Structure 1
Amino acid sequence: MSSNIDVTETLDVKGQNCPMPVIKTKGAMDGLAAGDVLEVVATDSGSMSDIKGWADSTEGVELVDQVEGDGVYTHYVRKTE
């Protein structure tokens, strides 16, 4: 699925642990327009549940996809409003 997502911006939080991936994702989302997609690249396995939980509980954002591979966790978050 991730191959046909139109990414607006990429946020690299590799090497950073909870809660920094979520904090930096929130900050980056604030600067995007409705419909934009942020790709978040992390190495913290906890980011899978952390970013999903944040997106599920935050108005105006939608978790489009999450991909895990080779110790890298990639999240695609769309700003919906």
Structure 2
Amino acid sequence: MNFDKELDARGLNCPLPILRAKKALAEVTSGQVLKILSTDPGSVKDFAAFAKQTGNELLSTAEAGGEFTFFMKKK
């Protein structure tokens, strides 16, 4: 999937991946896509809730070897 900015939040625990994503989303324009890498298992639920609360679109969630990849589109 194409993306405009990448955030490496691996090794960080809740709430840091969300806080860093919020900051990264502020740096992109509407319609751009942020790719987020995380190792926190709780981030799956966190990013789903974050997308719902902020109106940003969670395009996909994937897990491979304990690493989670999210693609979020800024509203």
Q: Which residue of 2 aligns with 1:55?
A: 51
Q: C-alpha root-mean-square deviation of aligned residues, in Å?
A: 0.7
Provide TM-score, normalisation by structure 1: 0.89
Aligned-residue sequence identity (percent) comes to 33
Q: Which residue of 1 aligns with 2:6?
A: 10
Aligned length: 75
Q: Structure 2: any 5+ residue segments left out of the alignment?
A: none
| Whole-angstrom CA distance in 2 between matches of 1:35 and 1:49 | 23
Following superposition, which runs of at least 4 residues in structure 1 exceed 4 angstroms of deviation?
A: none
Q: Structure 1: any 5+ residue segments left out of the alignment?
A: none
2:71 paired with 1:71: no
Provide TM-score, normalisation by structure 2: 0.96
Deviations 1:52-77 (A, max 9, x none): 10111113x11000001100000100
